[in-house]
Amino acid sequence: MTVKIGLLGLGTVGTGVYRLITSRGGHIKESTGFYPEIKGILIKNLNKPRKVNVQGLLTQNAEEILKDKEIKIVIEAIGGVHPAYEYVKEALSEGKHVITANKELIAKHGEDLNEIAEKNGVFLKCEASVGGAIPILHQIDRLKITDEIDFVGGIINGTTNYILTQMSTKGKSYEEALIEAQELGYAELNPDYDVKGFDSLYKLIILMRKVFNVNVPVNSITRSGIDGITKEDINYIAKWGYKIKLLAWGKKVKDNIFAGVEPVVVEESNILSKVSDVNNAIILKGDSFGEYVFVGRGAGELPTGDAVVADLLDVLLNYNIKGNNVAKFLPVSEGSFTDTFYIRFKMHKGDILNLQEILNFFKREGALILESSYENDIFVAVIRVKANINAFVKKIKDEKIAEIKAIYKVLQEDIDEGQLKEFEDLVEVI
């Protein structure tokens, strides 16, 4: 039996989807009993050169696909919110299954689209919206059957990971690494969507909705990107055996959800430090299985196309563990997954007295120094704090001890408490 498919968009993702479906159609039929046939492809420019032979399939009129009764599945690959939202909404309302790789669309409108899908008895699938070739949403569905997952996070943007890899391994500045990423096609001419953390934010919301069954408002999650990271910080971090990664993370503690998108310092022994270039890594932590780390290419024509086709197989097999579940609304609380931080000060006086003032403050607040460096008017340290980090930073600013130039969370392994005595001795000597 043949199933007709409508494809919206023929850019990088759309081309990958077309190639996989047309080349693997026979194998898909063997597995599912259905032969997938792309009947129409929506594009903007009929005269644009294409990497694939799509003669006779192209249209500039979305209604030719959305109103076609023969087309049972629509694959959305145009990106952005509008007109993608309107197209997906209409397709679902017309009783068509929809598969999308559009993380911004699902992050912002996933819940109302899920409701429309439920109402019309069709699937809304979005595996390709997170992690590229990593089948993470399918894995979460399976793990949730037997386990309570309380943490999801990782490196989920290939562009920023490539830039940070070049900065840490090749000694390039942020600007140099960004230009290279743009030349290679990893970063757009306007890179803000990636480097300021928006892409990671949308993917995190999708992951949290799947893992915790909560609908988190986009603007309730703290977001910071990599455009403020300096070679100076990269060098200090590398000297102490660390690397810096853009981490998206969500944590559930009882009925509270904590989350963030931000640069995080990780030890070189941590598996995340070894995830380089455009690769992604997604961590799940649960009460029974402990910790799983899924690593794979996070971007590209075929990796993302492969995730779309995985959703297509699910639809063709009528496979669905929990349906298009509507998540409950829950705002994000303020919190952290760690009590360890990298911090760089510009000292007001640039002398030993100002350094003693900083160290005395740390001792008073019960902060433990794990690494430190002092030269000229710069003091840099990796510290473990007992107090809430925001309150800690506020005190530094209120007491005008020194100017904080950079502060990042640290994924820290077990800490030797014997270091506390060494720190106290250091303060006394100074």
Higher pLDDT, 430 or 98: 98
CA dist 353 and 236 (Å) reads: 23
Highest mean predicted confidence (pLDDT) among 41-50, 130-139, 173-182: 173-182
CA dist 384 and 288 (Å) reads: 29
Give binding residues for L-homoserine as ranges: 188
Judged against a pLDDT cut of 50, whether residue 423 lies above it is answered with: no
Q: What is the reported pLDDT for 201?
A: 95
Judged against a pLDDT cut of 50, whether residue 17 lies above it is answered with: yes
The mean pLDDT of the chain is 88
Strand partners, 151: 251, 285
What is the band of 419 on the pLDDT scale with cuts at 50, 70, 90? very low
CA dist 1 and 4 (Å) reads: 10
Judged against a pLDDT cut of 60, whether residue 425 lies above it is answered with: no
Give binding residues for NADPH as ranges: 103
Q: What percent of the chain has pLDDT over 90?
A: 61
Q: Who's near 130: CB < 8 A, 6+ residues apart?
A: 103, 136, 137, 156, 203, 206, 207, 282
Highest mean predicted confidence (pLDDT) among 195-209, 288-302, 338-352: 195-209
Q: What is the reported pLDDT for 325?
A: 57
Enumerate the active-site residues.
Answer: 203
Judged against a pLDDT cut of 90, whether residue 50 lies above it is answered with: no
Judged against a pLDDT cut of 50, whether residue 430 lies above it is answered with: no
Mean pLDDT in residue range 179-204: 91
Higher pLDDT, 322 or 337: 337
Q: What is the reported pLDDT for 324?
A: 53
73-96 per-position pLDDT tens digit: 999 999 889 999 999 999 999 999
pTM score: 0.84
Mean pLDDT in residue range 115-137: 88
**In the chain, domain spans:** 2-125, 136-298+325-329, 340-429
Judged against a pLDDT cut of 50, whether residue 420 lies above it is answered with: no
CA dist 65 and 8 (Å) reads: 9
Give binding residues for NADP(+) as ranges: 8-15
Q: What percent of the chain has pLDDT over 70?
A: 91
Q: What is the reported pLDDT for 38?
A: 95
281-317 per-position pLDDT tens digit: 999 998 888 899 999 877 666 777 888 888 898 888 8
Fold exhibited by the domain 136-298+325-329? Dihydrodipicolinate Reductase; domain 2 (3.30.360)
Is CATH 3.30.70.260 what the domain over 340-429 is classified as, yes or no? yes
Give binding residues as ranges: 8-15, 103, 188
Judged against a pLDDT cut of 60, whether residue 322 lies above it is answered with: no
What is the band of 349 on the pLDDT scale with cuts at 50, 70, 90? low
The CATH-assigned architecture of domain 2-125 is 3-Layer(aba) Sandwich (3.40)
